[in-house]
Amino acid sequence: MKRFLVVGATVLMLAGVLTAVPVSADQRHPTVAEQSLRTLAARHNLAIGTAIDMDALRDAASPQYRALAASQFSSVTAENVMKWEALEPTRGVYNWGPADELIDFARKNKQKVRGHVLVWQNQLPTWLTQGVNDGTISNTELRDILRKHITTVVKRFKGKIWQWDVVNEAVSDPWDSPSSIHLKGFWAQHLGPGYIADAFRWARAADPEALLFYNDYNIEAFSDRGPSDKTWYTYNMAKQLRASGVPIDGVGSQGHLATQYGNYDAFQALEVLDAFSDLGLATAFTEVDVRSLMTDGVRAGDANEINPRLQASAANYSVLLQACLANRRCLSYTVWGLTDKHSWVPSWFSNPPEGLATLYDESYLPKRAYNVVKADLAFAGPPYVLPRVSQKPRR
């Protein structure tokens, strides 16, 4: 008993000493737990980002949203407000307000901005798609409209955007028909394959400093490098664009994963990043989230069902982050949705339902994935993890 008391008293005394004696910041290392993701990522010169839902950011009833977005992340992406339908809902009438608000938030919090997105087949304004469908907009005019859109938007935000997703999701998936990978969607159909190089050239003309990215999903790993390998197709497309002198600076791999699939290890993911960076391109993970099936057990709160999913999700976040850390041209790692409450997943995957995809739960509490990301950032270093090399925009 006496020994316990002595030990106890010594512990208390020591604790007292540690808290009582003022230690200057450079003497005492903050614990990893006390550090934010952005501080830990800064050691690698890596930007850690999140998609921002502007309604949530504005919502006075959820100050946690702003607080976490500002304190944990060094980069932001507009989840929706920089898309064409949001910027130009009526032809010639622009709505810059929400995007400006985000840029202002980023400036105040010393954050970089990823511009998302200039050319994509989704979330186009109806005046545009309808005009094309009913023949009032010809393909020649459509090309002019696209040039004007890119020029106007990129000039409007000139100097404020670090990386632009210039072209998004232009490449088909193996489940499309035909299964051999090809350029898909509205723009390829109406303008032919040349629109991709055009888009990069127009964007470069409008902002000589922004880094210009091609962005897509399901390009985290190579498969057989055959005709149905989307990653291989995208790699060859990027190679071709570089060879033709097109001002493309990077390839963004979205990183939308799901725990019910096999997925990849860090070496497979690194192989792809290295392949792109060997072409002289920067890389980035641009929309990482790792969703799970919301089985009856998960929804009923059964820990036996929930735990393996949270752990698998964390492991997949880690795979992509480790690959990114190991590739010196991987400039940023962005998660898609701040919390499970703000994730696109539940509304998109409802039959069967999926969810649990982000780093925070619906009450803003950090999940296993958050701590795994944090640990990876904290415990990585030389010789295999070295600071990022900066990318010079290609003219």
Q: Is 100 helix (H, G, I), strand (E, B) or coil?
A: helix
Looking at residues 13 to 52 of the shown chain, list those that interact with ligand 9MR (rule: CB under 6 A). none
Binding ligand 9MR by CB under 6 A: which of 123, 130, 138, 350?
Answer: 123
340 binds ligand 9MR (CB under 6 A): no
What is the closest distance, in whole angstroms, from the C-beta atom of residue 169 to ligand 9MR in the complex?
Answer: 6
Residues 6 or more apart from 165 whose CB is under 8 A from it?
A: 114, 115, 116, 117, 118, 213, 214, 215, 252, 286
What is the closest distance, in whole angstroms, from the C-beta atom of residue 243 to ligand 9MR in the complex?
Answer: 27
Residue 169: active-site member: yes
Q: CB-wise, 85 or 305, nearer to ligand 9MR?
A: 85
Cα–Cα distance, 267 to 276 (Å, whole number): 14
234 binds ligand 9MR (CB under 6 A): no
Cα–Cα distance, 362 to 376 (Å, whole number): 23
Cα–Cα distance, 38 to 73 (Å, whole number): 5
Q: CB-wise, 169 or 249, nearer to ligand 9MR?
A: 169
What is the closest distance, in whole angstroms, from the C-beta atom of residue 168 to ligand 9MR in the complex?
Answer: 6
Q: CB-wise, 168 or 358, nearer to ligand 9MR?
A: 168
What is the closest distance, in whole angstroms, from the C-beta atom of residue 235 to ligand 9MR in the complex?
Answer: 19
Q: CB-wise, 122 or 180, nearer to ligand 9MR?
A: 122
Sign of dihedral through CA atoms 115, 147, 171, 128? positive
Cα–Cα distance, 77 to 102 (Å, whole number): 9
Binding ligand 9MR by CB under 6 A: which of 36, 50, 72, 80?
Answer: 80
For residue 323, count other CB atoms closer than 10 A to its CB: 28
Provide the token pair at 159: 């100097």
Number of residues that bind ligand 9MR (CB under 6 A): 8
Q: CB-wise, 82 or 132, nearer to ligand 9MR?
A: 82
What is the closest distance, in whole angstroms, from the C-beta atom of residue 19 to ligand 9MR in the complex?
Answer: 45
Q: What is the CA radius of gyration of the chain?
A: 23
CB 102 within 8 A of CB 67: no
What is the number of the residue whose Cβ is closest to ligand 9MR?
Answer: 344
Binding ligand 9MR by CB under 6 A: which of 79, 198, 220, 376?
Answer: 79
Looking at residues 261 to 290 of the shown chain, list those that interact with ligand 9MR (rule: CB under 6 A). 287
Which residue among the candidates 79, 88, 220, 287 is catalytic per the annotation? 287
**Taking each helix axis from N to C terminus, what angle separates 63-72 and 97-108, rounded to the nearest 10 degrees?**
60
Please name the helix (run of DSSP H) or strand (run of DSSP E) that holds residue 287, with its range, or none: strand 282-293
126 binds ligand 9MR (CB under 6 A): no
254 binds ligand 9MR (CB under 6 A): yes
Q: Is 86 helix (H, G, I), strand (E, B) or coil?
A: helix
Q: CB-wise, 68 or 377, nearer to ligand 9MR?
A: 68
What is the closest distance, in whole angstroms, from the C-beta atom of residue 347 to ligand 9MR in the complex?
Answer: 7
Residue burial 216-244, b: 16+ Cβ < 10 Å; e: rest: bbbbbbbeeeeebbbbbbbbebbeebbee
Q: Using CB under 6 A as the criterion, which residues of the chain lie in contact with ligand 9MR when the complex forms? A: 79-80, 122-123, 168, 254, 287, 344
Catalytic residues: 169, 287
